[in-house]
A and B are shown apart, each in its own frame.
Chain A
Amino acid sequence: MNWQRIRAMFKARNYEFFRDKAAFGWNFLFPFLIIAGFGIIFGGREYSGFKVGVFPVPTDVVSRETASSLPQKFLATKYLEFIGFSTFEEGFAKLKHHKVDFLVRLDSPTRQYWLLDSSPRGYVVERLFQASLIPDGPGFGEKVAVPGGGIRYLDWLFPGILAMNMMFSALWGVGYIIVRYRKNGALKRLRATPLTAFEYLTAQALSRILLLLFSLVVVWLGVELIFSFQVAGSYLDLFIVFTLGATSLTSLGLLLAARGTSEEFTSGLVNFITWPMMFLSEVWFSLEGAPQWVRSLSELLPLTHLLRAARKVMNDGATLAEVGPECLVLLGVTLVCLVLGAALFSWNE
C-alpha cells in the first residue's frame, strides 16, 4: 500500500466535492431545510395532541361557549384540539380519512359520537370522553409528576436527519460516482497507473468519511444556532459514533460500486437500499409495536445501529461503552463491505 498514491486520489476527490458548488451546497442545505421545516411546522412545541371534531358549528373554530354542551372536564383536557364542522357529512369524511380522531354531535341529548374501530387514537379519546362523564369523586392512583419537558421530537428527530443525510451522501457520493467514473473511462485511465484497487477504494472511502463528518459539523452548528439541541452525553462519544456510522455507510457504498457501468441500475440499487433504511431504521418514527419481522429486518440495517447509538448518547446520555454493541455492528458492517467490495471491484466491468 502506497500512501502517496492514496493521498493523491484523496485530494482529487476532495477537489471534486468542494468545487462542485451545486452538490456541495445541497449536502448542507438538505438536512438544514428538513430540520428547519420541522421546526417551523411544530413551532418548537410537541406534536402529540388528539383532534376532536364537533358539529354542528358554523365555523371550524370551536369556543367553550359553542361547545358548552360537552362535559367541561372533556373540554378542559390537555392535548385535545377541537375542530368544528357545520354538518355531520363534513365531519364524518374527515374522520374516515384520519384527519380527526373522534367526532361528537353537540345537539344530541344522548351524546352521540363516532370513531373508527381500528383507530388507537380514537379509542384513547373515547376513554377520555367517557371518563369526563363520570361525576367527580375520590381519585384513583397517586400522581407523580416528572419535571421538565422530556425529549422534544426535534431532539429525537435530529440524529435521524443527520444520519439519513449521511446515508444518502455516502451511497450516492461513493456508489453512484464510482460507477459513473467506470462508465466514462476515468477508472480505466487510473487502472493504467500503478494505483491498486485497494488504494483507490481507501482514498475514496477516506475522502467521503471526511466530507461526511465535515458536513455533519457544519449542519450541526447551523441548526444548533436556531434550535439549540440538547445533548445529554459526550460530544466526543457522539462524534465517534457518527464516524463509525460514516465509515460503515461509505463501505456499503463501495460495495454497491464494486461492479457495473450502468448509472440507471446503480441508481435503482441505491434507492432500493436507502428507502427501506429510511423507513425501517427509525429516522422518522419509532418501530415500537411494529411486527417482529419488521423489527428483525431493521436490525440488519447499519442505519438502525447508527441511529440507536446516536440517540442513546444524545438523548439518554449513554457512554461509548454503553453503545458498544451498536458500535461493534457498525465495525462489522464496515469490515464485511470493505472486504467484499475490494474482492469484487473491477476497474472497467
Chain B
Amino acid sequence: MPPILEVNNLVKRYRTVTAVDGISFAIPRGICFGLLGPNGAGKTTALEVIEGIIPPTEGEILFNGTPKTEAFQQEIGIQFQHTSLLNFMTVRETLLIFQRLYQAPESIERLAEICNLGEILDKMNDRISGGQAQRLMLALALVNRPKLLFLDEPSAGLDPQARRYLWDIIRGIKNEGRTIVLTTHFMDEAEYLCDEIAIMDHGRVISRGAPAELVNRYCAGVTISLPRASVRTPLAELPFSHREVNGRLEITTDRVDAGLAQLLALKVDLAEMTVHSPNLEDVFLHLTGRKLRE
C-alpha cells in the first residue's frame, strides 16, 4: 500500500523569497507526522501548498499514490493557524453549516464527543474561550470524517492546561486510525504527539525521523550538572568527559547509573545535582546552532 501522502521536491517561491525549498517526504498511514521548526521556517506555507490552499511553484504531491484530484478536498480535514469563525452563530449551528458542505459528514454528537464540545454546543462562537475555539476548529476539521488531518500549530496561544487537553484529543483522533500532519514550534508537542518528524529550517527539511531516533542520532548521552564547588577531586582526574559552564560542572555520559556510581565513589555532594536528558530542542540546536524559539 502506498503512503497516504508523498511530497516530492516541493518548492514555493514568492518574488524574492523561497518559502519552501525542495522538501520531500512520505507519510505512512495512521501516524502523526510533525513538521517542527521555528517561526518562519516555512512549515505553514509547506502545509498550505500540500493542502491545496496555495499553488506550488514546483514539485509533486501524491495522495494515496496518485496526484491529487478534486476528491482530495472531501477526504482531508484542515485546522488553520489563523482563521476566524462565522459571526453570530452558536457552536452547534457552525458545525451544522459545515456538515452541509460535505457528502457524508460526521454527526454533531460524535464531533462533540471527540472534541468535548457537549457543554458549549449552544454557546455563541464569540462567547467561548480560546481552548474551546481551538477544539471547535478541530471539530470542523473532522466534520467530513477525514482520513488525513492537517493541523497547523494546533495549540498556539493556549495555556498549558488547555494545550495538554488538546493533545489528548489529538492522540485520541490518531488512535482511531487517522493520519495526522501537524506543524509546531513546540518541541514538547512534537515529542508528545508525533511518531515521526521532519525538522524544517529556512524552507528545507534538515533532518527527519522518530523523535527518540533523532535525539539518539544527534544528542547521545545524558548531562549531569553539579556546582563546581561540590567536586573536590582535580578535574583532570575525573573519569568522564566534562566541561565548566557558569560555575557548574557538566558531565556527559551514556549511562546515568554508572556515572552516578562514579560520582558517589569520589564523594561528590549530589544535593544540587540536576540531570538533563536531550530533547528535540537540543537536536535543533545541534543542527542549526540556534534554539527553536530564537
Docked Cα-Cα span, A107 to B74, in Å, equals 91
Residues of B within 8 A of A11 (CB): 97
**A262 touches B (CB below 8 Å):** no
Which residues 214-266 in A have Cβ within 8 Å of B in the complex? none
Which residues 176-228 in A have Cβ within 8 Å of B in the complex? 181, 184-186, 188-195
Q: Which stretch, A2-10, A33-41, A332-340, touches the partner chain B?
A: A2-10
**B100 touches A (CB below 8 Å):** yes
Q: Assess the A186–B86 pair: CB atoms within 8 A.
A: yes
Count residues of B near A (Cβ-Cβ below 8 Å): 25
Which residues 60-100 in B have Cβ within 8 Å of A in the complex? 70, 73-74, 76, 78, 80, 82-89, 93, 97-98, 100
Dominant SS among interface residues on chain A: helix
**A19 touches B (CB below 8 Å):** yes
Q: Assess the B80–A188 pair: CB atoms within 8 A.
A: yes
Which residue of chain B is the closest to A195 with respect to CB atoms? B101
**A132 touches B (CB below 8 Å):** no
**Which of B78, B83, B86 contacts A16 (CB under 8 A)?**
B86
Docked Cα-Cα span, A102 to B76, in Å, equals 78
Docked Cα-Cα span, A195 to B97, in Å, equals 12
Given contacts A192-B78, A192-B80, contact A19 B101 (CB under 8 A): no
Q: Assess the B85–A186 pair: CB atoms within 8 A.
A: yes
Which residue of chain B is the closest to A348 with respect to CB atoms? B53
Residues of A within 8 A of B191 (CB): none
**Which of B83, B88, B101 contacts A193 (CB under 8 A)?**
B101
Residues of A within 8 A of B98 (CB): 8, 193
Q: Assess the B93–A194 pair: CB atoms within 8 A.
A: no
Count residues of A near B (Cβ-Cβ below 8 Å): 25
**A142 touches B (CB below 8 Å):** no
Which residue of chain A is the closest to B87 with respect to CB atoms? A16
Interface centre among A20, A181, A193, by most chain B C-beta atoms within 10 angstroms, is: A193
**Which of A7, A15, A190, A348 contacts B93 (CB under 8 A)?**
A15
A133 CB, min distance to chain B CBs, angstroms: 70
**B106 touches A (CB below 8 Å):** no
**B192 touches A (CB below 8 Å):** no
Q: Assess the A194–B87 pair: CB atoms within 8 A.
A: no
Residues of A within 8 A of B101 (CB): 5, 8, 190, 193-195
Docked Cα-Cα span, A19 to B82, in Å, equals 25
Q: Assess the B86–A188 pair: CB atoms within 8 A.
A: no
Q: Assess the B89–A185 pair: CB atoms within 8 A.
A: no
Given contacts A8-B97, A8-B101, A193-B73, contact A185 B80 (CB under 8 A): yes
**B140 touches A (CB below 8 Å):** yes
Q: Assess the A194–B86 pair: CB atoms within 8 A.
A: no
Docked Cα-Cα span, A16 to B78, in Å, equals 24
Docked Cα-Cα span, A193 to B80, in Å, equals 12
Given contacts A189-B140, A191-B53, contact A15 B84 (CB under 8 A): no
Q: Interface digits, B256-284 against A, CB 8 Å rule (1 contact, 0 not)? A: 00000000000000000000000000000
Residues of B within 8 A of A185 (CB): 80, 82-84
Q: Assess the A186–B84 pair: CB atoms within 8 A.
A: yes
Given contacts A15-B93, A185-B84, A192-B51, contact A5 B73 (CB under 8 A): no
Which residue of chain A is the closest to B53 with respect to CB atoms? A191
Docked Cα-Cα span, A7 to B99, in Å, equals 12
**A12 touches B (CB below 8 Å):** yes
Docked Cα-Cα span, A23 to B198, in Å, equals 48
A194 CB, min distance to chain B CBs, angstroms: 5
**B102 touches A (CB below 8 Å):** yes
Closest 7 CB pairs of A and B: A8-B100, A185-B83, A184-B84, A19-B88, A192-B78, A193-B101, A189-B83
* Residues in chain B within 8 A of chain A (CB atoms): 51, 53-54, 70, 73-74, 76, 78, 80, 82-89, 93, 97-98, 100-102, 140, 144
Can you give 14 A-B contacts (C-beta < 8 A)? A4-B100, A8-B97, A19-B89, A184-B84, A185-B82, A186-B83, A188-B53, A190-B101, A192-B73, A192-B76, A192-B78, A192-B80, A193-B73, A194-B74
* Residues in chain A within 8 A of chain B (CB atoms): 4-5, 7-9, 11-12, 15-16, 19-20, 181, 184-186, 188-195, 347-348
